[in-house]
Amino acid sequence: MKVKYTASFFLLLVGKLFYSQIMITEVYWNTPYNEKLKFTKKINGVPNGELIDAIKHHRGEFVEIYNYSDRDLNLKNWTLNDYQGSFQLPDKIIKSGQFVVIAYSTLPGNTTPFSEYFTTTAGKEDQIILQDKIIIRNKRETLSLKYVTNDGVGKILSSMAWDFRSEPKPNFIANLGANPSQFYTVNSIQYHPDPGSTLDPNVQLEPDALTYYQAVPNPLAANFVPPIQKYEELVKNMLQESFSRLDWGDNVDELINKTCPISIEQVSQTPTTPNNPVRQCFSYDAAGNFVNTNCGKNVLIPPIELIPHDLEEIKNNIKIFPNPTKASEQYNVTVSWSGPALNNIQSVQVFNSTGSLIHNFNFTPTQGITTISFSLQNQLPGTFVVNFVLINGQVISKNVLRW
């Protein structure tokens, strides 16, 4: 989206969303502190006031973000970026329908007393994040919110940019510290989907644009609050896009032929009773597999390994529903099997995308169990793997997608 002011200056504002859950709603970019540092008088060879002015001249800058999904989110995988720097957001929850301000401050000392500058934030200090990585440029800048996945790949999900024809004049206000309310006399850039009543009538907008305009700053509040949307609707397109790129053809053999190289401790029993003077021995391993009936001997009966055709028939007779699982079903999943899969499955294991076991079902195949159910209600969206361990130790895998 673009905004053009046909006045004595030219301003281009651009904002975009990419299946985001968090968006940039306000930027305070040109503070009342003098950003042109002029040092004339020197004391002991050092320009007088250099340290104080250098610390203060970007104070008051902030970027406001808003969680417009219906779910509380953790910011720890998000970064704020500009042309020169990147700031990793902290391990902090942003609630559904909540604003958070990311303010510039010279850390670790001389931190910005942000709530003194903007009284609308008083008592909301837990919604203020201080950072010293991003210093906003006045003439030309691009800010973006990026989500970083577990594999380190970042995806931009919200951005805002502006470009003035010339460097805006400094908004220097003398004795600002004595009257910090003067921060409200300098406009910020704010989001509004329909700024027709707030912008100059000569403004031209692209039809599909996210629109921003300049107005009196109101951090942790807004002239327009974006409506809350369902989290599943916001992220499903991104998940489907990623899921559709997976090519299981290259991995199907590995999944089908995968066996678990585990060592299982054997358990044995040799009962004798007065009425049964003859000892009859039998052994089973801890998984319940029959081992031998020879007293004093440990003879392992090798399992019969199924050929790929037989494994494929078993796999085709295993059904997972619904897949993908949905919020309307409370993320419940039902697994059932029939035909050649009957009496062949001795355990079902469910793993999340990090490889952690979240569900494990063990049972005796001869008991006639043909269905199980489990829930992914408390799991993060992603791809889950369901392993079916057969009585001979071979493993068949299927995937479940949770939005």
- Structure confidence by residue, pLDDT tens digits, 263-316: 666 555 555 554 544 444 556 666 666 655 555 444 444 567 888 888 999 999
Q: Give the whole-angstrom CA distance, residue 16 versus residue 14.
A: 7
79-110 pLDDT, tens digit per residue, is 999 988 899 999 999 999 999 999 998 887 77
Same domain (yes/no): 119, 32 = yes
Write b or e for each residue in 331-363: b if 16 or more Cβ atoms lie within 10 A of its Cβ, otherwise e: bebebebeebbeebbbbbbbbbeeeeeebebee
Same domain (yes/no): 122, 150 = yes
Residue type at 33? Y
Give the residue ranges of DSSP H helices in 261-388.
308-316
Side-chain half-sphere CA neighbours of 213 within 13 A: 18
Question: For residue 289, what pLDDT is reported?
Answer: 65
Same domain (yes/no): 330, 254 = yes
Q: Give the whole-angstrom CA distance, residue 193 versus residue 214.
A: 13
Same domain (yes/no): 255, 212 = no
Question: For residue 241, what pLDDT is reported?
Answer: 59
Average pLDDT over residues 127-136: 92
Q: Which residue has the tokens 């673009």?
A: 2
Banded pLDDT at 6 (limits 50, 70, 90): very low
Range of the domain at 166: 3-241
Side-chain half-sphere CA neighbours of 239 within 13 A: 18
Higher per-residue pLDDT: 275 or 323: 323
Average pLDDT over residues 116-144: 91
Residue 36 lies in a domain: yes
Residue 291 lies in a domain: no
Banded pLDDT at 63 (limits 50, 70, 90): very high
DSSP 8-class letter at 310: H
Residue 30 lies in a domain: yes
Task: State percent of the chain over pLDDT 70.
Answer: 67
Banded pLDDT at 38 (limits 50, 70, 90): low
Question: For residue 300, what pLDDT is reported?
Answer: 42
Same domain (yes/no): 217, 255 = no
Residue 330 maps to which CATH number? Answer: 2.60.40.730
Strand partners, 15: 160
C-beta neighbour count of 220 within 10 angstroms? 21
Here the tokens at position 380 are 């993060």
Here the tokens at position 256 are 């089908």
Same domain (yes/no): 181, 250 = no
Same domain (yes/no): 333, 218 = no
Same domain (yes/no): 192, 65 = yes
Same domain (yes/no): 181, 74 = yes
Nearest C-alpha neighbor of 390 from the set 344, 326, 359, 351: 344
Residue 82 maps to which CATH number? Answer: 2.60.40.1260
| CA distance readout (Å), 137 to 58, 142, 143, 206 | 10, 9, 10, 25
Strand, helix or coil at 83? Answer: coil
Residue 300 lies in a domain: no
Domain count within the chain: 2
Residue 298 lies in a domain: no
Residue 269 lies in a domain: no
150-179 pLDDT, tens digit per residue, is 655 667 778 888 887 788 887 888 888 788
For the residues of 18-49, what is the DSSP string, one character each?
Answer: SS-SEEEEEEE-S-SS--S-----EETTEETT
Residue type at 61? E
Cβ atoms 21, 73 nearer than 8 A: yes
Banded pLDDT at 344 (limits 50, 70, 90): confident
Among the listed ranges 123-137, 146-160, 248-262, which one has the minimum average pLDDT value? 248-262
Give the residue ranges of DSSP H helices in 245-373.
252-257, 308-316
Same domain (yes/no): 39, 180 = yes
Question: For residue 25, what pLDDT is reported?
Answer: 92
Residue 281 lies in a domain: no
Q: Give the whole-angstrom CA distance, residue 182 versus residue 104.
A: 18
Q: Please tell me the pTM assigned to this model.
A: 0.55
Same domain (yes/no): 35, 121 = yes
Give the best-scoring range by mean pLDDT among 9-13, 200-204, 209-213, 338-342. 338-342
Same domain (yes/no): 198, 252 = no
Q: Which residue has the tokens 């908004």?
A: 171
DSSP element (H, E) containing 116: helix 114-117
Residue 230 lies in a domain: yes
